[in-house]
Structure 1
Amino acid sequence: MEAIPKQMTTLIKRNEEEGYECIQIPVPEPIGDEVLIKVTQAAICGSDINLYKWNDVAKFIAALPFTPGHEAAGMVVKKGPNVKDLNIGDRIAVENHFYCGECFQCKEGRGDICNIMNQYGHGKGTVHGGCSEYSIVPERFCYKLRLNISDMEAVLLEPMGVAHNSIEQLQVAGERVVVIGCGPVGLLAVGCAKAMGATEVIAVDILDTRLEMSKMLGADYVVNSIIRGSDAVKDEVMKITGGVGVGRICEASGATSMFNGCFKYLRKGGRVSVLGIPKQPFHIENPMQDILFKSLTLTTVHGRRIFHTWIECEKLIAEKKVNPQLVVSHEIPMSKYAEAFQALFSGTAGKIVMDPQC
């Protein structure tokens, strides 16, 4: 094991303004049940736009000061005196939802929907985040890798876990599935759906580049909902299903128009999982015909089931059933973090991964 330096490079937001500072600070010491990890990969996603720009959403979900990076993987290099199950050299990925362990949901085994949840990389409960050469993480939020997957695959367990959670709730085995929205998480939902037994997957997006990527992850049909018009998805689904409608829908776009219209092509007894974050209120035009009389099941997700989802996703990756690296569009040294965020702002990037060690 290499020596731990006294100083490290980290991104930090200390003031209410756009952007981050890249500074040198002392490497922190783990106490209690904390471990110090050497961060090997840190990924950023669409939600990081809020934190970077420090808009009203950021002011609600984050607290200054903080180091960003809620998707991180690394190796344990030091541990506090109360750490029980992790050892120096263990490879881990971070569960970024810091559950309290004491509320009603936590006591029911549902830390994923903790009532007073804090977030790694948001300054809620900790200043630490993955955009740093080293980071402090309490042991209980570390997922110890069990199988032979790469550091890149390990950091993608977090976003893949959100997709897996949604698809698992849909119960897709033997069903046709529509995935609306082919950003990184939607693409991973396509891959998970095929790996978990969906007979056919119909991928929907407004960008042909994303739809082509969805084919690489297993999509059988693709529909560009802008080029072919607003009714194209319904027309295609009804054509494929012989007028019956599709049994499972994963709404990963957050576009309320797409959500509002999806019930029209959901068959009776079908299931819908809401994965994307809507920007406007939902509105169902024909609630009796499209909702009540269909006897449907509607589910939502918030992160991953801890740690069930992690275990299942790691298996799918190790068994080569899902290749999450296909969604990565940029690999960038953290020293060039400004380029990483500009790529994120472009709206055309997939998953962006940074190496904090260079």
Structure 2
Amino acid sequence: MEDIPKEMVCLQKTTASKGYQCMKIQTPFPVNDEVLIKIKKVAICGSDINLYMWNETAKVIAALPFIPGHEATGIVVRKGPDVKNLKVGDRIAVENHFFCGKCFQCKEDRGDICASLNQYGHGKGTIHGGCCEYSVVSEKYCYRLQYGISDVAAVLLEPMGVAHNAIERLEVDGEAVLVIGCGPVGLFAVSCAKALGATKVFAVDVLEERLDLARKMGANETFNSKEGGSQKVKEEIMKITSGVGIGRICEASGAASMLNGCFSYLRKGGRITLVGLPKKPLHVENVLQDILFKSLNLNTVHGRRIFHTWEECEKLIADGKVDPLPVVSHQLPISKFEEAFKALLSGNACKIIMDPQL
């Protein structure tokens, strides 16, 4: 059995202020159905900016004190007395949406939209997140890795799962797909669409470097919407489709103007999934022509289907159908967390992975 130290290094926010402290705290001990996980990799994403800056959004979604990091993977090194399905040595990834298991949605096997959802790395329900050497998590939130993928790939299953869920809802087999927004989730949506049978994938963003990544992830054609916005994208799509419109859209930008405009070039009978997080109201100018008379199918997703999505994503990576590594722009030890968040805040980072063991 691994020699587990009495103290561990972690990042923690203890006061309502910007940043984190890198400190040593007592290594937790698992009780009941908890497992102690030696964290191998933890990833940070755009949503972590709220917590780092401690803005108004953070005050709603998080509670002090907490260890951040909602995307984490590691190995089980100790387990509580009530653990039934995991054993020491199992490699796992954490499902960061902590479902209650008791509400109507949970009883319908929809823990992804639990009515009493808490979140790993946000300090609601537990202080623990993944930015530490060891973390305790209930076994019911652990996905046991099955196909031997790397730790870096495993820590990317969480954001990839959001994209996979969005694309799966679109039913893309045999269809052309447009992905709007090429952040990490949008980039994964490109790859998942190709892997799930899309004939062509078009990608839109305002940054050329993101469009370069989209092509690496499998996009057949890309459009820069910085000049011309949604109207330019509409012109390109209508030209490509001879005026019919695109049949499948994954909106991953969260930009209100792009979201509001994309209904105008969705094909009649088409499908759209909203996955980006808009900060402004949805406003569609021509509701009759662009929504009601199109007989469209509108989907939204919140995280992953537990644990269907995790297994499907791991299979795609293991089978070589999706290569997640191009989205990784930085790999750093957790001691350099300030450098990691500086890169994230600058907009010059895509996916940042930290190693708590360095």
TM band (smaller chain): over 0.9
Distance 1:74 1:24 in 2: 19
Secondary structure of 2:147 counterpart: coil
**How big is each residue's C-alpha offset from its partner over 1:209-243, in whole Å with a ceiling of 9 and x where there is no partner?**
00011011110110000135542211111121121
Q: Which amino acid aligns with 2:105?
A: Q
Q: Find the counterpart in structure 2 of residue 140 from structure 1.
A: 140
Q: Any conservation in 1 of the 2:229–2:258 contact (CA below 8 Å)?
A: no
Q: Which amino acid aligns with 2:279?
A: K
Secondary structure of 2:164 counterpart: helix
Q: Find the counterpart in structure 1 of residue 71 from structure 2.
A: 71
Q: Find the counterpart in structure 1 of residue 346 from structure 2.
A: 346
Q: Which amino acid aligns with 1:233?
A: V
**How big is each residue's C-alpha offset from its partner over 1:146-184, in whole Å with a ceiling of 9 and x where there is no partner?**
101000000000000000000000000011100000001
Q: Which amino acid aligns with 2:162?
A: V
Distance 1:152 1:239 in 2: 40
Q: Find the counterpart in structure 2 of residue 336 from structure 1.
A: 336
Distance 2:54 2:338 in 1: 15
Secondary structure of 1:39 counterpart: strand
Per the normalisation by structure 1, the TM-score is 0.99
Distance 2:186 2:71 in 1: 17
Secondary structure of 1:298 counterpart: strand
Per the normalisation by structure 2, the TM-score is 0.99
Q: Find the counterpart in structure 2 of residue 199 from structure 1.
A: 199
Distance 1:27 1:218 in 2: 43
Secondary structure of 2:132 counterpart: coil
Report the CA distance between 1:324 and its aligned residue. 1.0
Q: Find the counterpart in structure 2 of residue 225 from structure 1.
A: 225
* 1:287-298 map, 5 Å: 287-298=287-298
Secondary structure of 1:231 counterpart: helix
Q: Find the counterpart in structure 1 of residue 130 from structure 2.
A: 130
Secondary structure of 2:273 counterpart: strand
Distance 1:106 1:165 in 2: 18
Distance 2:260 2:302 in 1: 20
**How big is each residue's C-alpha offset from its partner over 1:107-132, in whole Å with a ceiling of 9 and x where there is no partner?**
01000000010100000100000000
- C-alpha change, 1:107 and 1:230, in structure 2 (3 Å) is closer
Distance 1:327 1:113 in 2: 27
Between stretches 319-328 and 229-238, larger displacement belongs to: 229-238
Distance 1:33 1:324 in 2: 32
Between stretches 230-239 and 135-144, larger displacement belongs to: 230-239
**How big is each residue's C-alpha offset from its partner over 1:264-320, in whole Å with a ceiling of 9 and x where there is no partner?**
110100001000000000100000010000000100000000000001000000001
Q: Which amino acid aligns with 2:186?
A: G
Percent same amino acid among aligned pairs?
67
Q: Which amino acid aligns with 1:236?
A: E
Distance 1:74 1:97 in 2: 17
Q: Any conservation in 1 of the 2:49–2:345 contact (CA below 8 Å)?
A: yes
Report the CA distance between 1:326 and its aligned residue. 1.0
Distance 1:70 1:229 in 2: 33
Q: Find the counterpart in structure 2 of residue 172 from structure 1.
A: 172
Distance 1:56 1:161 in 2: 27
Matched, 1:156 2:156: yes
Q: Which amino acid aligns with 2:260?
A: N
Distance 1:263 1:102 in 2: 37
Report the CA distance between 1:11 and its aligned residue. 0.4
Distance 2:50 2:230 in 1: 29
Q: Any conservation in 1 of the 2:230–2:262 contact (CA below 8 Å)?
A: no
Q: Find the counterpart in structure 1 of residue 98 from structure 2.
A: 98
Q: Find the counterpart in structure 2 of residue 285 from structure 1.
A: 285
Distance 2:238 2:217 in 1: 23
Q: Find the counterpart in structure 1 of residue 118 from structure 2.
A: 118
Tell me which stretches of 4 or more aligned residues in structure 1 moved more than 4 Å.
none
Matched, 1:253 2:253: yes
How many aligned residue pairs are there?
358
For structure 2, the 5+ residue unaligned runs are none
Q: Which amino acid aligns with 2:11?
A: L
Distance 1:229 1:340 in 2: 30
Q: Which amino acid aligns with 2:67?
A: T
Matched, 1:275 2:281: no
Distance 1:98 1:2 in 2: 28
For structure 1, the 5+ residue unaligned runs are none
